[in-house]
Amino acid sequence: MTMPVETNSPSSFPRRRGRTLFQGCLSWIRENLFSSPLNVALTLACGYLVAITFIPLVNWLIIDAYWAGTTPQDCPDKTAACWPFIRARFDQFMYGLYPVEERWRVNLGIGLAILFTLPLFLPRFPHKLRLLPLLIVIYPLIGIGLFSGGQFGLAYVDTGKWGGFFLTIVTAVFVLSTSLPFAVLLALGRRSSIPLLRVCCATWIELWRSVPALVVLFVAIIMFPLFMPEGLETDKLLRALIALTLLMSCYMAEALRGALQSIPKGQYEAAEALGLGYWQRTFSVILPQAITVALPQITSNFIGLFKETTVLLIIGLFDLLGMVQNAASDPAWLSQGASATGYLFAALFFWMFCFSLSRYSAYLEKKSSLYKNV
């Protein structure tokens, strides 16, 4: 039995009757690349651009690259990427200066975090909202206990030794989970019926949103000790985390405010008609809907936060980029193509994470717009 010929297949190749695949390709090329003199010129210019950027890059990064070994002698010159540098420093890029024998704690903590958050990303998992308090309250406590130690027979590890990709992840996840509750309060405050509260929340949000993250971090590092009563010394990382939480809660509050505005008025009225009080109304009717609507925006805020963590290196906390920069200035590796390879490696790492998150955000957006159309 022969397969019926598909005439209306939505493929990018318009297969017309009586044409071979080759002819189809040719006509596709003619229509999409060489349809007018301008397009011919553009295609040739772009082809040239690709040839002069991608080919040398692939050559430098992969084909000519030095792959074997772990010492500076293994890559004799700058003409090609120096992967032995990455191999030699990989553990530092991942864990910073965390003691080698204690690194299992980091792995365990990150593993737990993935285990906790994974159900949130599964569309069919039913208890998402119940999992959220677990993630926001219980997990940070487990994480802090596990990473810094000092109790339960775990050796104490100073936060100054935390670094690398581990620090990036810890910062991003910690700030996300702590800023969400504050963001909810700020967003509700900004839409409150009490004028003073509204003005205060709006001023607070707009003030911090108009200042760069770096300045907020400096405020936390330099000013925070001054604000505190004597004897209350806080750790540098903690101060940075507080600063980022403050900033992030303002950004997320704006995302939530947009979502709250999009909830139809009937939802508020229906909840009121059921006799629910303000908090019950907000937390069991309005917020669950608002968070769903705001999820794509929150995800893209999270991507921004993920990229923003690199700023930590300016105040002397070495995240992934900080460790790469630190390693690239090592004199033993200076004359090799080490620094370029290091930066490209870090770029690839960040890119993988941010790109997959942005795909996820796009998927959420598509899903929510599908709901609206039904």
Partner 1 sequence: MMKRDIVYQVVLLAIIAGVAALIISATQTNLARLNVDSSIDFLWKRAGFEIGQKLIPYSADSTIAHAFIVALLNTLLLACTAIVCASFLGSIIGLARLSDNWLVARLAAVYIEIFRNIPSLLQIFFWYFVALRALPRTDESIEFFNCVFLNNRGLFLPAINPEQGWSWLAAALIFAWAAVYFLKKRERRQSPESGKTWTPGSWSLLIPAVIVSAGILLADVSVQTPQETRFGYSGGIVLMPEFLSLVVGLSMYNATYIGEIVRSGFTSIPRGQTEAADSLGLPRHLTIRLVLFPQALRVIIPPLTTVYLNLFKSTSLAAAIAYPEVVSVFVGTVNNLVGQPVFIMAMTMVVYVFISLCIALFLNWHNRKIALTVAS
Residues that bind partner 1 (CB under 8 A): 32-33, 35, 39, 42-43, 46-47, 49-50, 193-197, 200, 207, 210-215, 218-219, 222-223, 225-230, 303, 307-308, 310-311, 313-314, 321, 325, 328, 339-340, 343-344, 346-347, 350-351, 354-355, 358
CA distance linking residue 119 with residue 128, whole number of Å? 7
Three-class DSSP labels, the chain: CCCCCCCCCCCCCCCCCCCCHHHHHHHHHHHHCCCCHHHHHHHHHHHHHHHHHHHHHHHHHHHCCECCCCCHHHCCCCCCCEHHHHHHHHHHHHHECCCHHHHHHHHHHHHHHHHHHHHHHCCCCCCHHHHHHHHHHHHHHHHHHHHHCCCCCCCCCCHHHECHHHHHHHHHHHHHHHHHHHHHHHHHHHCCCCHHHHHHHHHHHHHHHCCCHHHHHHHHHHHHHHHCCCCCCCCHHHHHHHHHHHHHHHHHHHHHHHHHHHCCHHHHHHHHHCCCCHHHHHHHHHHHHHHHHHHHHHHHHHHHHHHHHHHHHHHCCCEHHHHHHHHHCCHHHCCCCHHHHHHHHHHHHHHHHHHHHHHHHHHHHHHHHHHHHC
Fill in the amino acid letter for 99: P
Closer residue to partner 1 in complex, CB, 132/214: 214
Report the nearest approach of partner 1 to the CB of residue 113 (Å). 21
Fill in the amino acid letter for 27: S
Report the nearest approach of partner 1 to the CB of residue 319 (Å). 10
Closer residue to partner 1 in complex, CB, 218/268: 218
Tally of CB atoms within 10 A around 291: 19
Closer residue to partner 1 in complex, CB, 146/294: 294
Report the nearest approach of partner 1 to the CB of residue 45 (Å). 9
Closer residue to partner 1 in complex, CB, 55/155: 55
Closer residue to partner 1 in complex, CB, 6/233: 233
Report the nearest approach of partner 1 to the CB of residue 334 (Å). 11
Closer residue to partner 1 in complex, CB, 39/368: 39
198, 192 contact by CB (below 8 A): yes
Report the nearest approach of partner 1 to the CB of residue 211 (Å). 5
Report the nearest approach of partner 1 to the CB of residue 1 (Å). 37
Report the nearest approach of partner 1 to the CB of residue 52 (Å). 13
Closer residue to partner 1 in complex, CB, 66/147: 66
Report the nearest approach of partner 1 to the CB of residue 216 (Å). 9
14, 28 contact by CB (below 8 A): yes
Closer residue to partner 1 in complex, CB, 97/219: 219
Report the nearest approach of partner 1 to the CB of residue 42 (Å). 5
Closer residue to partner 1 in complex, CB, 120/215: 215
